[in-house]
A and B are shown apart, each in its own frame.
Chain A
């Protein structure tokens, strides 16, 4: 404790080195004059010699015993146990701590399941639809004549609601089962669309060749839910419009000089940078060897399109990391925001360009509907800006970054720093 050798301390206290050794290893209790002598020699408070690590260990053992009273542990002999078998005692104490930590994790995960917004929304949708079907069916099942117009209306309502119920049930089962199959993992229509586009590497040769978006969407969306097919058709129409505005050959020609830099390409092509980002993300592997990621969000911050990368995952639902340049772009409309990205536990190898633009052109008295795009690509050999890497994560829940100013909820990985909530 003070750098004094054990033999010197034993000699000064008037005891044998072997006896001191027994005391140090809690195999003999210390008290009275000997305790005061040794404390005096070491220049410390006597309590320090009897408390500290041993006291903590004994307290933990007693706590473990009180948690499992049926085991009948001899709590009045915890100090003796800790003294005679310190290794076993530490093992037991550590196991107790580990069990407590795991129990807390289970509680946290159970709580998250109970408050899962996707699950809650799906169940609410299903119960409301069942209520509607039950009410309409009861009216139809009642004896007596029902006006023909009303009868047809309730039949139509039941048909609509049963379709909705089937869709919601299918989505919920897929969400809960979440097998390894990508199609079965999808729970929401947007995720179905993401999975369908991912299966073709986000490149649609028929649309590049001027094919009809409805036909391409019908073929690609086979087996998807009605809502997902509608979303996919909308995306295919946008893809076709993008092809018309910026054919692949023109983009590839300019890209040879500029690289996949959406801001630079936007300038030389005279095109909207968001359009350039969508076109870059749709290039086939033979043209663009590096896979590019793309995220699109609406003004509420909700991701409405995701093309994640293995090194840049994107959350399946809920909002993403608020530090993404995607969200910074929403605060600076029409400005291309660029930065290298630093993710926890990964070397900074990725670069992000983001821009927020109106979804449609101007209209009389019509507020624009803003969407932000963010293209993820490898850090270019000659970065267009010298900005320091932007520290980003995926989602607060799974982000280990401590003291993050943008954190909105604690991490299930723990160590998220002081609570801000």
Chain B
């Protein structure tokens, strides 16, 4: 078992595909689809790596990221942010908020696997 990944994403078929490829590589994968209670969910489940979509129902991924970084217990959590918007200002916004890695859709499965591996080893 590699470790625990929490995937917060609202697109069910993306959830299924990413969960499948990570589980197959030995990761334990939890999923969550709501932005509104995402911070509490992260605190409760305590993942080793968080994959966070930027646009979620109820709350943006950027706001969730900021809240997590403000929490001393979550400030070092490796976070991979996924977004369908590739503008540089989004990347800058995520970096300012303390993202560990930023990935624009459409990404490949291999890119996600590599990123999660790298983040867990960092």
Hey, which bits of chain A sit against chain B, CB under 8 A? 120, 123-124, 127-132, 134-136, 138-139, 150, 153-154, 157, 160-161
Contact = CB atoms under 8 A, between A and B. Distances in A.
A136 B21 CA distance: 10
Nearest to B11: A128
Contacts of A161: 13
Contacts of B106: 127, 130-131, 134
Nearest to A126: B84
Contact of B17 (A120, A130, A135): A135
A43 B17 CA distance: 86
A123 B84 CA distance: 8
B109 interface: yes
Contacts of A130: 105-106
B42 interface: no
Interface in B1-44: 11, 13-14, 16-18, 20-21
Contact of B109 (A123, A127, A128, A138): A138
Q: Which residue, B11, B13, B20, B109, has most C-beta atoms of chain A within 10 A?
A: B13
Given A127-B84, A139-B21, A139-B109, A132 B13 contact: yes
Interface in B36-95: 55, 84-85
25 contacts: A120-B85, A123-B84, A127-B84, A127-B106, A128-B11, A128-B14, A128-B84, A128-B105, A130-B105, A130-B106, A131-B11, A131-B84, A131-B106, A131-B107, A134-B108, A135-B14, A135-B18, A135-B21, A135-B108, A135-B109, A136-B17, A153-B16, A154-B16, A154-B17, A157-B17
Contacts of A127: 84, 105-106
A138 B107 CA distance: 11
Contacts of A154: 16-17, 20
Given A131-B11, A131-B106, A135-B13, 5 more contacts: A127-B105, A128-B11, A131-B107, A134-B108, A139-B17
Nearest to A164: B13
A139 B16 CA distance: 11
Contact of A124 (B16, B17, B85, B107): B85
B20 to A, nearest CB: 6
A150 B106 CA distance: 22
B88 to A, nearest CB: 13
A403 to B, nearest CB: 34
A160 B13 contact: yes
Contacts of B17: 132, 135-136, 139, 154, 157
B17 to A, nearest CB: 3
A124 to B, nearest CB: 5
Nearest to A123: B84
Given A127-B105, A128-B105, A131-B107, A136 B84 contact: no
A134 B20 CA distance: 14
Contacts of A132: 11, 13-14, 17
Contacts of B13: 132, 135-136, 157, 160-161
Which 5 A-B pairs rank lowest in CB-CB distance, beginning with the nearest?
Answer: A135-B17, A127-B84, A131-B106, A132-B13, A131-B105
A229 B16 CA distance: 28
A150 B23 CA distance: 13
B16 A157 contact: yes
A132 B14 CA distance: 5
Contacts of A124: 55, 84-85
Contacts of A129: 11
Interface in B98-122: 105-110
Nearest to B112: A135
A98 B108 CA distance: 50
Contacts of A150: 20
Given A139-B21, A139-B109, A150-B20, A131 B14 contact: yes
A161 B55 CA distance: 19
A130 B14 CA distance: 10
A286 to B, nearest CB: 47
A135 B110 CA distance: 9
